[in-house]
Amino acid sequence: MQLTANIQNHHFDHILLNAAGVMCQTNEELNTVLSSSYTGAVVTKSATADHRPGNPAPRYYELPNHLGTINSMGLPNEGFNYYLDYVSTNPSQKPIFFSIAGLSKQENLDMLHQLQNSDFDGLIELNLSCPNVPGKPQTAYDFEATQQILSEAFAFFKKPLGVKLPPYFDIVHFDMIADILNQFPLAFVNTINSIGNGLVIDEDSDTVVIKPKGGFGGIGGTLVKATALANVRALRQRLNADIKIIGTGGVTTGRDVYDHILCGADLVEVGSQLAIEGITVFDRLERELTAILEEKGYQSLEEVRGQLKVL
């Protein structure tokens, strides 16, 4: 069974890849994701202009009973130039998503200018949804700021550009963000980032489990699946057909991948479960997905994508 997808002129031989932040900070990690026979691409750790160590540890925690994860990494990354060097020597034929998360609008626009003027021929993901930098709100919860940065970016930026969104929880907010995104020639929308500012408590010690921000952090994994599916579905129903959707959130089984596709995802990213299970997660997920498709008698993903039934 062929499990493929396209975003603009980029072809993906497999629909799975890492979610930004997991297994993608160093060259070695990026190479690991690319070298899997079951990934269609890699996305780099969101870059800031300069190297950042991120927040103090402990800053990542796996909840018991496979519920998911909480993180407040704080945007640790090697700096924009490190990833620009990496992509210029892309060791594989697979597309690369270059993720950026500047600490200001100007920092994002400066990085986009550099990408525009570079030889990079992959896709760019503008992360408007990091929940973990103290004092910096998630841009995409500010509709005016989102419209503004996209207007300024698309005034000069011509390469395939998408945005990474936080989860929305209100139908009016789905309408509002879709109205904004539809004004721009976006290549894709990636939904969802972690659910920001959750709080997890250790039952033995009555303490929080991560240090930054008094224990508040982004929630990922099984806990967020329903929210992720709702966002994929709601945006697929509202966005122009030429804006592709990357579904992220709550993927631990092939059934979860299948559900994202039913809701309209073109590609599916794996974050928490990749951190927990390692690179072989892609092999397992693709096998489980293929088994479901075969059992249901489907020949291709096209027969499933967006075909969720309602009552």
Residues labelled catalytic = 129-130
Q: Which listed residue (33, 47, 75, 257) binds ligand RRO by CB under 6 A?
A: 75
In a 10 Å sphere around its CB, with 0-12 CB exposed, 13-18 middle and 19+ buried, how is residue 297 labelled?
exposed
Residues 6+ apart with CB under 8 A from 275: 22, 23, 60, 62, 69
What is the per-residue binding string for ligand RRO in 151-190, x denoting contact by CB under 6 A? ----------------------------------------
* Six token digits for residue 119: 């030889």
193 scored as a contact of ligand RRO (CB under 6 A) = yes
Residues 6+ apart with CB under 8 A from 225: 249, 250, 251, 256, 259
DSSP, residue by residue, 23-92: S-SSHHHHHHHHHSTT-S-EEPPPB-SS-B--SPSP-EEEPGGG--EEE-----B--HHHHHHHHHT--S
Q: How many CB atoms lie within 10 A of CB 194?
A: 31
Cβ 120 to ligand RRO, closest distance in Å?
20
Which listed range, 71-79, 84-92, 139-147, 282-290, lies at the site for ligand RRO (CB under 6 A)? 71-79
Cβ 70 to ligand RRO, closest distance in Å?
9
Read off the amino acid at residue 189.
V
* Six token digits for residue 305: 């994508």
Residues 6+ apart with CB under 8 A from 130: 46, 75, 101, 136, 138, 193
Cβ 242 to ligand RRO, closest distance in Å?
25
Which listed range, 69-77, 202-210, 284-292, 294-302, lies at the site for ligand RRO (CB under 6 A)? 69-77
What is the per-residue binding string for ligand RRO in 17-56, x denoting contact by CB under 6 A? ----x------------------------x----------
Read off the amino acid at residue 76.
P
Cβ 2 to ligand RRO, closest distance in Å?
31
Cβ 299 to ligand RRO, closest distance in Å?
36
Sites for ligand RRO among residues 90-119 (CB under 6 A): 101
274 scored as a contact of ligand RRO (CB under 6 A) = no
Which listed range, 24-32, 83-91, 123-131, 167-175, lies at the site for ligand RRO (CB under 6 A)? 123-131
Sites for ligand RRO among residues 211-240 (CB under 6 A): 218
**Of the candidates 162, 165, 186, which has an alpha carbon nearest to the alpha carbon of residue 96?**
162
Q: Which listed residue (34, 130, 186, 261) binds ligand RRO by CB under 6 A?
A: 130
**Contact set with ligand RRO (CB under 6 A):** 21, 46, 71-75, 101, 127, 129-132, 193-194, 218
